[in-house]
Amino acid sequence: EVQLVESGGGLVQPGRSLKLSCAASGFTFSDYNMAWVRQAPTKGLEWVASISYGGSNTHYGDSVKGRFTISRDNAKSTLYLQMDSLRSEDTATYYCARPATFAYWGQGTLVTVSS
């Protein structure tokens, strides 16, 4: 059974950093591209970033480009999202998901950016 379990969310002040993790199991992690998708409170879904199965190719949404970094450790079957220079508008539940069709999602981890 495919499982994606996010962690690392919490309350952080504007301008600070936070690193999210997503532990994957139930499939060969190194065979698949991975992604982060977020959802602000009461809002819709927004794709954040994607990374290729080997980690060499990454793509970012315009709203996070230059501030967020997606990475992975295939030996640990873990996906990461390093979030720097956080803003209040980054407040959201962050989901780890498996593209291209996003057939699998984690339960999400809430990031709140507030002073």
Where on the chain is the footprint of other proteins (CB under 8 A)? Answer: 35, 44-47, 50, 59-62, 95, 99-103, 105-108
Q: Please, which residue, 96 or 113, has the CB nearer to other proteins? A: 96
CA distances from 50 to 10, 14, 67, 72, 113 (A): 22, 24, 14, 11, 22
Q: Between 39 and 74, whose beta carbon lies closer to other proteins?
A: 39
Least distance from C-beta 37 to other proteins, angstroms?
8
The tokens for 92 are: 């959201």
Least gap, CB of 43 to other proteins (angstroms):
9
Dihedrals phi, psi of 84, to nearest 5 degrees = -110, 165
What is the C-alpha to C-alpha distance for residues 93 and 37, in angstroms, rounded to an integer? 8
> Which residue, 43 or 87, has its beta carbon nearer to other proteins?
43
